[in-house]
Amino acid sequence: MQLHNILITNGTIVTLSADKLPHNPVFKPEGKEVTTQLTEYLNTTQIPRGTIINLVFDQKYIHYQHFSFPLLRGRKIRQVLQFELEDTLLKEAENYVYSYATQSIKGSGTTSAGVYLMEKVLLDELVSLFKGFNLELRWVTSLENLMDLEFRKNTDPGNRIHVELSEKEKSARLFVYRNGFLVGLTALSAQRAGDAQIEGAICQDFLDQINQRANAIRLMEADISDISIDGTPSNQITVDEQQELSINKEYQPEPAQENNKPGIDLPAPRLDHPRRINLITSNFLVFQELKKHARSLMFTAGVFMLSVVLYISALGYRGYYDNQYYEQLNHQLDQTIEKYLPKGASKANAIYIIKEQVQNLNLEKEKNRKFKHRNYRVSKALTELSLLKIDIPSVTLIRFSLNDQSIRFQGQTASMSEFDILKAALPRIYPPDSYRINTNEKNRGSESVEFSTTIQFKPSQ
């Protein structure tokens, strides 16, 4: 059976091979609905009847949301998600089709859920459209989901920001991971009118946009400090010590060859991947598939009936065993009540009292574990620097960064005398025995002085 993949991203429809997803645009109509684009595309390509269709959409059509809950069982996650989506979506949750992936961490007692959503009206239109062309729409999935799976297949994301750069489109996707789970994603596009670089190259202004977005994410996610890049030559874009992207000035792009179609290689469409999302909830060719496998289904039905008989027999034995077990538990409960609770406490109240005591002990242990060694380094540094306002009311910080080795900030004062006071005040806050301070004057105006300061931590002797 033939397989035909179609990628729809920012109004561009792309045909895909079964092995890779190269980015080779067929056309890019403006101001048309996606169903209109697909209809024109199917009329011109004349795909054979019965072909399996996989649709891959980007963020414009499939939206991603992340939720974090207390530890939940798998059967309760969907119910909780429906309740949460009612409060976050613009329309009622019943107007959307969604698929999700989850990850539970017993150590922290949390369950993370990543939800991919599409409007149900659009999905119904797509199903009807391909049915009219006698094509089987088997998968509707997300481009970001495929890229996420490919990245996690090659490495453990941990806590990081992963950047996928496209030189051809001059765009970037930022994937944010916490404990190896995707908790957010965003897309950026360079302003082509401001590009003065070689065609196809990534300009410094665009990298600054990416760094600004990454820094904003890191302020929201304190545990995320690492950053990685993919999709562009490694000798052109590098990551410096401050975990920021920069351009390698010595890199010279090779001259473009004729008949060479640049593209982005994406992962193979693995239908069996456990985290591969699929927004198709029904298949209109299900009865045709059942006819093809009728003999196998009859054998499966026989095995199922035999399993039911064995299961009922096991239930009878289990009932007798459970009755004996419950009598033993009741006897142990009576002994526990006599030993630990006041006289006269009933069995029903005793259970709740004991459970409450155990829960309180566990909560205390969890609080001690979470907050015992927490160090609020950014808040502490900003609080210390705010002491400069006492002697220098006009001092203003323009930029601030902090890592394990140093604190860097830029600012300005209203006059040269206040700049001198600043240089004298810094050693009082950061003693020379533990810190090395370097303050430089960057620019002196008629009524202000701009400066930059680096405070390095001295290693303990």
The domains of the chain are located at 3-247, 297-370, 377-457
148/230 Cα distance (integer angstroms): 12
Q: 61: closest CA among 85, 41, 37, 92?
A: 37
Secondary structure element (H or E) that encloses residue 1, with its range? none
At residue 35, the 3 state secondary structure works out as: helix
> What is the reported pLDDT for 264?
40
pLDDT number for residue 265? 43
pLDDT for residue 28: 42
- Give the CATH number of domain 3-247: 3.30.420.380
pLDDT at 258: 40
pLDDT given for residue 222 in this prediction: 77
Check residue 176 and give its pLDDT: 92
Half-sphere exposure of 426 (CA within 13 A, CB side): 22
Q: How confident is the model at residue 260, as a pLDDT?
A: 35
Cα separation, 49 vs 72, in Å, equals: 44
Assess contact for 35 and 132: CB atoms under 8 A. Answer: no
Provide the pLDDT for residue 27: 37
How does 131-164 read in b/e, with b if 16+ C-beta sit within 10 Å?
eebebbbbbbbbbbbbbbbbbbeeeebebbbbbb
Other CB atoms within a 10 A radius of the CB of residue 96 amount to: 20
CA atoms within 13 A on the CB side of 421: 16
CA distances from 97 to 14, 81, 92, 277 (A): 24, 12, 11, 11
**Cβ(39)–Cβ(129) below 8 Å:** yes
Return the CATH architecture of domain 377-457. Answer: 2-Layer Sandwich (3.30)
Ranges of the chain whose pLDDT falls below 50: 17-31, 193-197, 256-269, 271, 282-289
